[in-house]
A = this chain, B = another copy of it.
């Protein structure tokens, strides 16, 4: 039997502690006002670190446990997708999709050819926004592992983790190198190529940066779920 929570209509909600599940204010509002859950209706709660349990909504922040705590093992190996800072709403789309696809770490980095620049305040706000997107996607996709959305970083940091640089070319992405970095639309600089000498391809075509990031997450996730085994 699967240890995953069911994917039916019952909401799946992040809480701090599944032993004593208490809804955050916005979760309570969402369940009571938007989803109009009534007293006694079923939900599942998770701590985003693998543990979940069934519970009943009681119209208040405290939910009533309605079954044992189940622990979903952490998927192996840990998968990280890093992508260069991009303009408009693309980071939101990428974080949402990578969360649904089960990527464990989501990293945004400054690239030499990133068109956008974030100062410290903007970076902090954006980080908060992306964490909120990941939480929403985690709940919506009934996952029990919330990805870590890291603070804005740089290529030197990616190099220290042995990240593979994605380039146009034959499909070579693999779980043997589960930290992958997607460059900006303008491409990698010479210095970045030197810093990240290992490359892998997603296919012979040009993908938009956000499509490359989502595709990398889809392929690594599918491989980890047994594709090609």
Q: A171-B227, A227-B228 are in contact. Are A215 and B204 (CB under 8 A)?
A: no
| A2 interfacial by beta-carbon distance below 8 Å | yes
B7, B202, B208: which contacts A222 (Cβ < 8 A)? B202
Identify whether the interface residues of A are mostly helix, strand, loop, or mixed.
loop
What's the least CB distance linking A142 to chain B, in Å?
5
How many chain A residues touch B (Cβ–Cβ < 8 Å)?
A: 34
24 A-B pairs with CB atoms under 8 Å apart are: A4-B204, A97-B214, A100-B207, A100-B211, A101-B205, A101-B211, A101-B215, A102-B203, A102-B205, A140-B206, A140-B208, A141-B206, A142-B205, A142-B206, A170-B225, A171-B225, A203-B222, A214-B214, A214-B218, A215-B218, A218-B218, A219-B219, A219-B227, A228-B228
A178-216 near B? 1/0 per residue, CB < 8 Å: 000000000000000000000000111111100100110
Most buried by B among A97, A141, A215, A228: A215
Residues of B near A2 (CB, < 8 A) are 204
Residues of A within 8 A of B (CB): 2, 4, 7, 93, 97, 100-102, 140-143, 168, 170-171, 173, 202-208, 211, 214-215, 218-219, 221-222, 225-228
